[in-house]
Structure 1
Amino acid sequence: MTVSLTPILLGIFAACSQQHQEPDSVTAEATKNHLADETSPYLLQHVYNPVDWYPWGDEALDRAKSEGKPIFLSIGYSACHWCHVMEHESFENEKIAAFMNENFICIKVDREERPDLDAIYMAAVQKLTGSGGWPMSVWLTPELKPFYGGTYFPAEAKYGRPGFLEILTSIANAWQDNRAQIDASADQLTEALTNKFPAVEAGKGLITLAELDLGQQQWVASMRTTFDSIDGGFGQAPKFPRAEDLRFLLAAAHRLDGTIPGAQAKEMALFTLTKMTEGGMYDRLAGGFSRYSVDGQWLIPHFEKMLYDQGTLIPAYLDAYRLSEDESYAKIVRQSCDYLLREMVDDAGGFHSSTDADSEGEEGKFFVWTPTTLAEVLGDDDAKFAAVLYGVTEAGNFEHGNSVLTDAKPAVIAAAELGVPVDEAEALEENVRARLYEARLKRIAPGTDDKVLTAWNGLAIDALAMAGRRLNEPRYTAAAARAADFLLAEMKLEDGRLLRAWRQGKAQHAAVLEDYAYFINALLSLFMSTGEERWLLEAQQLGDHMLADFWDEESGIFFDTDGRDESLLQRLQQPWDGATPAANAVALEVLTVLHAFTQDEKWRTPAQRGYAALMKMASSNPRAFASTLRPLAWAVKEPGVAVVIGTGDSKSLDIWRTALASSTYTDVLPVLRATAAMKSEIGLFQGRGSVDEKATLYLCEGQTCQLPRTEPIE
């Protein structure tokens, strides 16, 4: 069989027309490969594969150079369904493994531990194939330059894809027969990956407030062109919960209040957030969101649940609640925060990374129901109510007659249809939900990737701290503080720099930009929620490292990595949003907030240069730069800072906490402190205390402050 690999290598592999040679059968032995000392759950899942996997490191890279063999680099993550499929089909296959071991140096990487490697080689795969995804399969020269790649390959040809062994055979033959051409193609591809941003134009400044308002109207109009007015979201299936798009629209709705674009922004955001919770992508029993919907109606999820989705969607629903005052959004926030505290928190204090889609070898089995399984738990009468409430039918909406639970009908409607007193509907709904949740806990659960990542924990800490102050839920703030203390104790080195990943007492891998940016943002969120000076001081120290190690003076934006790892082909600059907010955008936002809190120009200057550098690109593609555009008003006009000094009486402070969570104070940064500081390193607190034994607000913009207030604005 002839296997054509890529356009760039078409000439090399056109000669590889012979059938692949089947390797001799190899007896399976339960021996460990070189992944045995790793801590990543994803890597440990492959430790007994017959493939002689190495982790990324000197041992594997040196062996590739000394033996002159190409590297097969496989990148995935624990919750990835197709990663598990490829492992079972190919990496557990003795014949395929023997061929891999003979002809390649095989390296396994957890993309969540090494996003730097993932980003570089995903860019290569996208250049080669026009698309990307996981599992990622890339072949490299011993100099680590990619020359061929793809995603999932079946063991045997199907789905319109060549078989994995056929691919391996053609590459091995080409490596022997056409090495010079492979090297030339690898050089060409590596050169094409360079994405260094040009130098920022000298004297280029930010837009004005008037230009910002006009720009926001244009950006809203641009996003409206792909908005799904029937089911919410943007584009077609599969649909991802792009929280940053929605948070941008909510911010634009506030700023453009009273205008048609403002109303359109509000409609798109709130409609999408509501539709997302009505479908099966939202876990009706435990809370929390799955990674994406496989259909356009948010009905059937891809069942893996990622920490970063909870960390970005909770703030989106909090913003929706503040703008709309609709309690249903606050309910989603509480359920999702409770999910984090109940199911995702590590005993040491941090939060786990994800849960799998599969259990007992079947995707979604843990989450689905039938009328029969409902009755087994609830009895016939309550099962009928649950079936109407959650849309569970004999035919099902998923595979094999199973149903994913949805918000099919409001509880009062379900009750009325079944003759249940309407005034009992809400209590019955909660009772049914709790009983089904407890019954589900007895099932075999999907696996959990229990490593702790600095960046994703930063998102979760920010979400919990924000929920704590906006919903007046101290337990969420306490959980956020505990996780932040854990990261500072376990992830911060003696020189003040951060590590990225921790599991079972071992922290490793140098932090990347998103680790710094997200964690600094989390520390600032905790400072706003508690007024404790230590959070701001830690944020400033990490901010100094972020500027020193990642900021590029020439382009005005940040690199993704600190440049210390010589095995990386290059330092990427990727200022656009992905599944998580762009690290560049969050870095610029935290610099802006640090300046608002400290009035130190060392924070403001790089922030202004960064926004100026990105404006043209962001304006032309707002959905890719939503996290850059959302806080832009704070860069154009410095945000106000609302400091509340309490008296030690929580009730008086709670009055201000509620007021500052309302839309009246959307444009200010709140800082709530229980009592006055006797001595303070923070200028915000110096010379400020409560007035007339009441919690007191000090509202300032830059160097200009209003008179203290003891009562909120009506």
Structure 2
Amino acid sequence: MPGFKTILLQLSTAYKSKKHEIEAASGEFMGALAQTARDIASGTAEKASLERSILDEAAMGLLQMGDPIYGGFGQAPKFPNPSNLMFLLRYYDISGMNRFKDFVAFTADKMAAGGIHDQLGGGFARYATDQKWLIPHFEKMLYDNALLAQLYSELYQITKADKYLQITRKTLDFVIREMTHPEGGFYSAQDADSEGEEGKFYIWQKKEIASILSDQVATDIFCEHYGVTEGGNFEGHNILNVRVPLSNVGLKYGKTPEQAAQIVADASAKLFAAREKRIRPGRDEKILTSWNGLMISGFAKGYGITGDAKYLHTAKNTVDFVENKIAADDGRLLRTFKDGHSKLNAYLDDYAFYVGGLLDLFAVDSKQTYLEKAMKYTDFMLVHFWDEKEGNLFFTSDDHEKLIVRTKSFYDLAIPSGNSAAASNLLRLYHYTQNNDYLDRAVKIMKAGARPAAENPFGFGQMLNAIYLYVKKPVEVTVIVDESSKKMAEWLNQQFLPDGINAAVSADELPSLQKYAYFKGREGKAGTAFVCRNFACSLPLKSQQELERQLLTPS
């Protein structure tokens, strides 16, 4: 089987020699993909067994779609597609083949260095208008930043590279600083325009940078690192993007890499402060339940890798906001909140993404209320959205206002589909509760999507993530913690365990959770852990070293 470098060279040669054919075929591909999603929804798609071969076929196909020069998928405009990248990380986990991880890291590095990433303030724009990730459509969407925070968290778990930790932090800090309602909850988007010009808030002239920094060496080092020139790279101005590594810049100016990094950090802080005085882009201040659910997941996973309590607090505060401001009195969710009012019946995505956020939060802070809410909203979803005939979920509830066609969502692109997210949730809930109905429904959804996902993986990243979880057979990891024994849970949260059904539960909380199958028989003092596979559990593990041996030693 060819290595990652060989695949990249082959793809690069094909694109250079057959560019027009490839671009023409892409339109046909997207049309076929949309038809596939319609076939699944209507029940006409071929049902498939949930086997490892589905993942093999999909991963190989998806890697072949990758851009060998700049990472990501396709040419321009170029979207991050984090669900696809996270699937390739899961395939790396199940296969052990480094080229899948390497392609994701390659893509993530290209995005982080590009103009699509706000180099000063953190956060990512919705997409790049070019193949190189240089020129963004400057609008920042909440869902992109929620999903990309999760992607970079997972890359940190795999590589332990500090750059991924810092990108995760910058992304989450941007959301806290610029996208958060005073009472909690997150706004939907920042506009691309300010003062009637796209990107004006973000772009720079070299002379402006020199004036603000008032230091020739700092200006030279900053501008060389970020590719700033007199002529600019965007309508006479500069979009900051990493062009020269700090080690090379430092060498040129007689600085160590650490000294160059500090100079750039100090310069960035000054320029950020100056930018804050500009007229800001507008903001879409709708608060959507679905996107807030994705963001809860982002903060829960960010807390997991950093241990920073502010991220945990933000995730928990968002749950409180949804429950107090958006959830209806009759136990259902509403879709949106703005100007003090919540309205509109929630869609499938709202239930699926919010439940996903609750489960991700429960994994790192196992309060009974988060599991109970996840079950409550899932049960409501199954009653009111389930299509008994086809074995999947409608986009609208059975008591929603009448539509000409009651549609379904199966297409995972910038945002996962509700059916794919629900399948993942149902699998996790099954492991916490041993409620076979959750498992049966998850399997029905995945069987409908498995064959199309294998054949057209680009549009089914989250569906493939769900199938991975089913095929891999999850490992259940429980850590009993208190203030004096957090190290074991902190270590667990920093491991890449996409097949993990985890719980970090306090000794005080544990008795109330033991009514759920997952927690039965898992008793002990704080500082005790259990690892269970295929319904067989380890003896109580009394140290982090014992936990490491159980999880990291090949079985």
- Please indicate the TM-score interval, normalised by the length of the shorter structure: 0.7 to 0.9
| Residue 28 of structure 2 is aligned to residue 198 of structure 1 | no
Please, which of 110, 113, 124 is the counterpart of residue 289 of structure 1?
124
Larger RCO: 1 or 2 (CA < 8 Å, sep 6+): 2
- Counterpart selection for 1:523 from 345, 358, 376: 358
1:680 counterpart SS class: helix
2: CA distance, partners of 1:423 / 1:674: 41
Sort the Cα spacing of 1:195 and 1:521 in 2 relative to 1 into closer, same or farther, 3 A. closer
Structure-1 residue corresponding to 2:185: 350
In 1: Cα distance, 2:114 partner to 2:337 partner: 34
Moved over 6 A (4+): none
2:460 match: secondary structure: helix
Distance in 1 separating the partners of 2:431 and 2:533: 8
Matched, 1:653 2:486: yes
3-state DSSP class of the match of 1:560? coil
Q: Against the structure 1 CA distance between its residues 636 and 350, is the aligned structure 2 distance closer, same or farther, given a 3 Å change threshold?
A: same
Offset of residue 254 of structure 1: 1.2
Query: What does residue 61 of structure 2 align with?
Result: 222
Q: 1:329 aligns with which of 164, 172, 191?
A: 164
Alpha carbons of structure 1 residues 231 and 403: separation in structure 2 relative to 1, 3 Å: same
How far apart, CA to CA, are the structure 1 residues paired with 2:64 and 2:493? 34
Q: CA deviation at 1:573?
A: 1.4
TM-score where L is the length of structure 2: 0.88
Q: CA deviation at 1:225?
A: 2.7
- The aligned runs of 1:293-372 (5 Å cut-off) are 293-372=128-207
**1:377-456 mapped onto 2 (5 Å cutoff):** 377-381=212-216, 382-399=218-235, 401-456=236-291
For 2:256 and 2:320, the matched residues in 1 are separated by 49
Secondary structure class of the residue paired with 2:530 = strand
TM-score by length of 1: 0.69
Aligned residue identity for 2:537: C
Q: Pairwise CA RMSD of aligned residues?
A: 2.3
Distance in 1, Cα, partners of 2:426 & 2:534:
15
Q: How far off is 1:491 after superposition?
A: 1.4
> Which deviations, in whole Å up to 9, do the C-alpha atoms of 1:378-421 show, x marking residues without a partner?
1142222211121110110001x100001122223223323345
1:710 maps to which residue?
Answer: 542
**Which residue matches 2:9?**
none
The 2-side partners of 1:477 and 1:490 are apart by 20
After the TM superposition, which of the residue ranges 509-518 and 317-326 deviates more from structure 2? Answer: 317-326
Residues 1:699 and 2:531 are matched in the alignment: yes
One-letter code aligned to 1:451: K
Alpha-carbon distance in structure 1 between the residues aligned to 2:257 and 2:100 = 35
SS at match of 2:548: coil
Q: Distance in 2 between matches of 1:451 and 1:407?
A: 33
Residue 368 to residue 200, structure 1, CA distance change in 2 (3 Å): closer
Does the C-alpha gap of structure 1 residues 655 and 432 become closer, same or farther in structure 2, counting only changes over 3 Å?
farther
Q: Which residue of 1 aligns with 2:450?
A: 615
Q: Which amino acid aligns with 2:486?
A: L
Deviation of 1:668 after TM superposition, in Å, equals 1.6
C-alpha contact 1:352 1:451 (8 A) present in aligned 2 = yes
Q: Find the aligned partners of 2:321 and 2:225 in 1 and give their Cα distance.
A: 41
Instruction: Confirm or deny: 8 A CA contact 1:390 1:408 kept in the other structure.
Output: yes
Match of 1:556 among 391, 396, 400: 391
CA distance in 1, matches of 2:389, 2:472: 25
Quick one: percent identity of the two aligned structures? 34
Aligned residues: 511
Within 5 Å, give how 1:57-76 maps onto structure 2: none
Task: Give structure 2 stretches of 5+ with no counterpart.
Answer: 1-26, 33-37, 550-555
Structure 1 contact 471–658 (Cα < 8 Å) conserved = no
* Counterpart-to-counterpart distance in 1, 2:402 and 2:241: 47
Q: 1:627 to 1:645 in 2, by over 3 A?
A: same
Find out whether 1:674 has 2:509 as its counterpart.
no
How far is 1:556 from its partner? 1.1
Q: Which letter maps to 1:674?
A: S
The code of the aligned residue for 1:346 comes to H
Deviation at 1:637, TM superposition (A): 5.0
Alpha-carbon deviations, 1:594-620, whole Å to 9, x = none? Answer: 001111112111111111122222111
| SS of match in other structure, 2:336 | strand
SS of equivalent residue, structure 2 residue 512: coil
Question: Can you list the C-alpha shifts for 1:466-489, whole angstroms capped at 9, x where unaligned?
Answer: 111232222111100001110011
Q: Secondary structure at the match of 1:264?
A: helix
Aligned match of 1:244: 83
Residue segments in structure 1 that go unaligned for 5+ positions in a row: 1-125, 132-192
Change (3 A) 1:519 1:578: same
| Contact residue 479 and residue 488 of structure 2 kept, 8 A | no
Q: 2-side partners of 1:403 and 1:313: how far apart?
A: 24
Question: Is the Cα contact below 8 Å between 1:646 and 1:690 reproduced in 2?
Answer: no
Change (3 A) 1:224 1:633: closer
Question: Does the residue aligned with 1:592 lie in a helix, a strand or coil?
Answer: helix
Distance 1:269 1:678 in 2: 38
